[in-house]
Amino acid sequence: MAIPTPHNQARTGDIAKTVLMPGDPLRAEFIAKTFLDDAQCYNNVRGMLGYTGFFNGKRVSVQGHGMGLPSIGIYTYELYNMYDVDNIIRVGSAGAIKEDVKIFDLILAAGACTDSNYADQYQLPGTYAPIASHSLLEPAVTIAKERASRYHVGNVLSSDVFYRDCGSALDWGKMGVLAVEMEAAALYMNAARANKNALTILTISDELHSGQELSAHDRQVSFTTMMEISLKLAASL
């Protein structure tokens, strides 16, 4: 069968209905090799590794999405519209904005504010508010509670800017925004447009309010609580 996209060498049927997506493709490889049974690599185009295997007997895929709204926008659009994926769970890192949000805390992103112009493509007569799918958010909260994990549910900021020239992401804290990352808003918009499901689960890797941060290696391999919650959710779908 034909290869459907320029960015993904998977053939039709290679990818499961539910896909976990970290930004870092090496984190995708870590998840696949640590948690999935019989994991098979279906993509390495541009180094954006993708695997399909089994977790608790349920077929699940995991694939990197890169950094920023444009990158996740491409990969999730293709998964939803060309590979018939139903559920995407982003598993990523974030910087804490609110002072009560600490390193290694989990964020279940109910909504995603953004400073991006990604929604302009839809030509809507106003400002679109990207939100998670309740069908994924509710069971994720239940799983986090059962594990006695330290978690927060609320709004995040999906920013186009990592090295900001002026202003501060901390300003969003005035509106109750918990943390900043760079992809959730595009994921949620793509899911809404495709009538599919999406959720972003984040682990705090640094605190904007205090300056504390984790190393790149820790970000790659130490977020196992988030991974396990996401995989348990995926196996329940």
Query: 194-225 pLDDT, tens per residue?
Result: 999 999 999 999 999 998 888 877 766 678 99
Q: Domain locations in the chain? A: 18-236
* Residues catalogued as catalytic: 206
The domain at 18-236 falls in which architecture? 3-Layer(aba) Sandwich (3.40)
Tens of pLDDT, residue by residue over 120-170, are 999 999 999 999 999 999 999 999 999 999 999 999 999 999 998 888 899
Give the other-Cβ count within 10 Å of 38's Cβ. Answer: 9
Structure tokens at 170: 């901390």
Tens of pLDDT, residue by residue over 168-200, are 899 999 999 999 999 999 999 999 999 999 999
Are β-strands 87-96 and 58-63 bridged in parallel, bridged antiparallel, or unpaired?
unpaired
Mean pLDDT of the chain: 95
Question: Is 107:156 a contact under the CB 8 Å cutoff?
Answer: yes
Q: How far apart are CA 99 and CA 120, in angstroms?
A: 32
- The structure's pTM equals 0.96
Question: Is 110:130 a contact under the CB 8 Å cutoff?
Answer: no
Say which residues have a Cβ less than 8 Å from residue 220's Cβ, sequence separation at least 6. Answer: 24, 26, 27, 30
Give the other-Cβ count within 10 Å of 41's Cβ. Answer: 16
- Calculate mean pLDDT across residues 87-107: 97
Structure tokens at 156: 């995040």
